[in-house]
Amino acid sequence: MRLEVAMNEAEVKERVKSWLAANDYELVRGEFGVEGGRLDFLGGGWPEQEYEIEVVGVECKGETHAGEVWRITNEQLGRYARCVPKLYFACSVARDEQREAFALLCQTAGVGFIGVGSGEPHVESPRRPVGWRLDWWRYMEEVRSRVALFLTFQDEFGRELMWGQDWCATRELPDRAQWNAFVDRAEGCCYLGVNVENAKRMLGGLDLSEMAKVLGGLPRETRCRVERQVYFGVGKRVSMPVLTGTASMLGVSDLEQVRGLCKDRAMSLWVGLPVWECRDAFGRALHRRRIEEAKDALRPLYSSMRG
């Protein structure tokens, strides 16, 4: 019987991050929201010319027991398996027989197992690369579309980004224009866009006729959204739509009205282009090219919003 020093959950997570990197999985993000819950990690293996993304989700615990392993792998991971093709349960293991028992429970539940001790993690992959519970549409909408968008946005703009459930953005102050990308699940479409969280300073210093001209010259499928932002505390915000539609509809008079609204309330402005539908799937190179083309089309607007 080999004894190990037990690890807490934070230590297990650090080891799992290292394991993902060592196996060429790009970390899409920690705390990946899916199926009403949050996976500790979701990684993607996606070579440049490949069409299929190898998506791996990992749920982590520190010290645990057989009953909890069975509950998590059957209930929580069983739910996630509807849209994540390959899942692992990771935890601290103190004894060889414990590791073997946990691995057997995971295999019975149809997920892989990562046993973390002092040496290299003990990894047992799921018997099949895709679980039988996987639902094609759930996978495309909740996982693949977001993974493709996040990774190619990261390719274009670097890793120093801000992240949300369905969006990512370059780091800027709230009153400065930033690049962003998000999945609009209602439309079933992914967008690349330019936005400013608090438009008061930007609109106050711009020639609105010039900005309206730039907006009118964007591709006709370009969308815009003006929203009132209501804050209820740190991390608690509600967005109230004021104006949505095609970007070309924003004329000088509309921009003047929005500038007036900014005087006594927080208003945001977003303009974006669709880059692919959630049901679209193609190689990484083409996804990346769609991001680059949308960025080139929106660059004049980004420059004008930056002043």
Q: Give 121's DSSP letter.
A: P
Query: For residue 233, what pLDDT is reported?
Result: 76
Q: Assess contact for 63 and 39: CB atoms under 8 A.
A: no
Q: Comparing C-alpha atoms, which of 209, 211, 146 is closest to residue 177? A: 211
Is pLDDT above 80 for 234? no
Helix (H, G, I), strand (E, B) or coil at 292: helix
8 A C-beta contact, residue 265 and residue 251: no
Q: CA 73, CA 55: separation in Å to the nearest integer? A: 18
Could you read off the pLDDT of 207-223 as tens digits, one per residue?
Answer: 999 999 999 999 999 99
Q: For residue 306, name the pLDDT band (cuts at 50, 70, 90).
A: confident
Secondary structure element (H or E) that encloses residue 207, with its range: none
Say if CB 42 and CB 32 are below 8 A apart: yes
End-to-end Cα distance, the chain: 68
In order of their start, the domains of the chain are 9-134 (3.40.1350), 137-306 (3.30.930)
Classify 212 as helix, strand or coil. helix
pLDDT in tens, 120-133: 899 999 988 787 88
pLDDT of 78 strictly over 90: yes
Tell me if residue 41 falls in helix, strand or coil. Answer: strand
Structure confidence by residue, pLDDT tens digits, 165-185: 899 999 999 999 999 999 998
Length of the chain: 307
CA distance 157 to 180: 10
Structure confidence by residue, pLDDT tens digits, 28-68: 877 899 998 999 999 999 988 889 999 999 999 999 999 99
Q: Is 107 exposed, middle or buried (0-12, 13-18, 19+ CB in 10 A)?
A: middle
